[in-house]
Amino acid sequence: MKKAYLFPGQGSQHKGMGLDHYRFDNEFKKRCEQANEILGFRITDIMFEGTDEQLSQTRYTQPALFVHAAALFESLSHQPDMVAGHSLGEYTALVAAGVLKFEDALNTVKVRAELMQKAGEEQSGAMAAVIGLTDDQVESVCREMTGDADGLVVPANYNSKGQLVISGHEEAVAHAMEKLKEEGAKMVKKLPVSGAFHTRLMEPAKKELDGIIDKLEFHPPKALVYSNATGTASKSPEIIKTHLKDQMLSPVRWTQTLMAMHEDGAMHFIEVGPGSVLQGLVKRTLKNVGISGFQ
């Protein structure tokens, strides 16, 4: 039975995540202390004792989630058949598949988080979750609401059937939210983020991050790696690198990723990291598969 390992992105973080592992698993603790040294600050203090407001800041959220999930996966000593990560989680997936070294990925995640927070501060944006409409309906409303240079709104996350996230300029997102309610959405909820992630508003961040990614050494993967940007698998280091660079501006095609994994033989899906968000998305997307998690 093929197993697919999934790694979460922003939204799964919570105060105290990883604390028990840190206390009772020496290898997990060593990885965390290494991360503190690489980052130049104690991310573990923020993970274990920081306020919710502090932990929700992108510059801290992304390294915290990466460190927790990557260190936890290592401690499991499991060999996956296939891996995927949701947005930030794609970096964790690449470490789990042996494509990137932990140190290289963490350094890149640190810069990614700082760039994305900066981009959000310089070009404010918004994101909103939409439940109860088809992909076509949401895409149509986004096209209708997208106008001039300051009127962008696009699908950013295809999370599961009937659950999407839209992203873009604040006013355009607000107008789209009202229109989506009129179209019959069961729920439309603004998300607590400061930036329009996975849109062209992240272009300044992408340009700088691309230069860093180009300098990384991408190794042949030990498992199939599924890309957020395409929802498809690859075992080519060069293709994986290209897809990782595309990720910043592309929507997260998570529904397509889960379906492709299942079509490729995955019968058990294992979420590694805090929370159970991805397990819920698997339940809403696939039938008759095993689902579990390690937190």
Catalytic positions, written as ranges: 87, 198
* Residues pairing with 4 in the sheet: 82, 269
Q: End-to-end distance of the chain based on CA atoms, in angstroms?
A: 22
Integer CA distances (angstroms), 275 to 27, 37, 47, 68, 282, in order: 21, 26, 14, 11, 14
CA–CA gap between residue 129 and residue 121 (Å, rounded): 21
Radius of gyration of the chain (CA): 18
Token pair, residue 210, equals 């691309």
CA–CA gap between residue 120 and residue 90 (Å, rounded): 21
Integer CA distances (angstroms), 22 to 2, 9, 19, 170, 273, in order: 30, 21, 5, 39, 14
- Residue pair 199/249 in contact (Cβ under 8 Å)? The answer is yes
Reported in sequence order, the residue ranges of 28-99 that DSSP labels E, i.e. its strands, are: 82-85
Integer CA distances (angstroms), 280 to 53, 159, 228, in order: 25, 10, 18
**Non-local CB neighbours of 113 within 8 Å, separated by 6+ positions:** 58, 59, 60, 61, 62, 63, 88
